[in-house]
Amino acid sequence: MISVIIISHNYGKYLQDCINSVLNNDPELIKEIIILNDASSDNTDEVSKKNLRNNKKIKYFSQNFFSLPKSINFSIKNSSSPWITKIDADDLIEPFFLKKFFNYANQNNLDYVYGNLLIKDEVKNISFTKIQEIYGIKKYFNYPVGSGNIFKKKIWEDVGGFNENIYYQDDYDFWLKIIKNKNFKIGYFNEAGYIYRKHKKNMSKNKIKKNLTKIKVFFSNTLFNKNTKTR
């Protein structure tokens, strides 16, 4: 069974759609849905509590971290399943997502599985598939989007969780720590089960700070760091 984690910072506008998309998946695979409200000033609290009353599988936490990595770590720490998937509150998953990706992970004895993205432009309402297959040396520069992957909680424990000392690129940092470990089996599943919604409030808008952080994360985690073990 899987712990589904939803992080919301002022994404109350999208949160109900996100929760509904999770509930449209196979209920037997959902151990719990953890909603973390990180310092929202919109209706995130109201939407979360309404769902909390209506569904016993939902756990709700409200914190003032002002930090995505802290929110993720807190949520995973409070999860009770050996499998984790994280969904941003402004995004969605397809009804087959949990079943297909979880089965693929089990059938191939994987610890971490990622797939393709369905990109939804909120303004034009146009969707297309982004292929995320990563191989060879590219794995040090490209990485799956931070949400919409299914992985064992043990991975999070072994790599020390998400880096709470950075504001951007925490998902890239997490990815690099995973691929360095030879004991983890990572797999790409050629399906688009995660719907990434593009809109004006996406968190990753500051490209300069994002790219500078990516460079820093790269050098601290790859073969250029003498303390780093590579695959």
Domains of the chain: 2-221 (3.90.550.10)
Residue closest to 149 by CA, chosen among 121, 124, 116: 116
What rounded mean pLDDT belongs to the chain? 89
Residue pair 95/30 in contact (Cβ under 8 Å)? The answer is no
200 pLDDT higher than 80 = no
Of all residues in the chain, the percent with pLDDT exceeding 70 is 87
Specify the pLDDT at position 169: 85
Beta bridge partners of 30: 2
218 pLDDT higher than 90 = no
102 pLDDT higher than 90 = yes
Specify the pLDDT at position 224: 42
Listed in sequence order, the residues at least 6 apart from 78 whose beta carbon sits closer than 8 Å to its beta carbon are 34, 59, 61
CB-neighbour burial class of residue 183 (10 A; exposed 0-12, middle 13-18, buried 19+): exposed
Beta bridge partners of 6: 35, 87
221 pLDDT higher than 90 = no
Specify the pLDDT at position 213: 60
Q: 108-125 pLDDT, tens per residue? A: 999 999 999 999 987 777
223 pLDDT higher than 50 = no
The residue among 31 and 214 whose pLDDT is bigger is: 31
Cα-Cα end-to-end distance for the chain: 29
Paired tokens of 113: 């599985």
Mean pLDDT value of segment 26-41: 98
pLDDT bucket at 229, cuts 50 / 70 / 90: very low
Distances 56 to 36, 49, 93, 184 between C-alpha atoms, Å = 16, 12, 21, 33
Task: Give the CA-trace dihedral at 5, 11, 13, 19, to 10 degrees.
Answer: 0
Q: 126-167 pLDDT, tens per residue? A: 788 999 999 888 888 889 999 999 999 999 999 999 999 887
Helical segments of the chain, H only: 12-23, 44-54, 68-77, 97-107, 153-158, 170-179, 207-221
Q: 51-92 pLDDT, tens per residue? A: 999 999 999 999 999 999 999 999 999 999 999 999 999 999
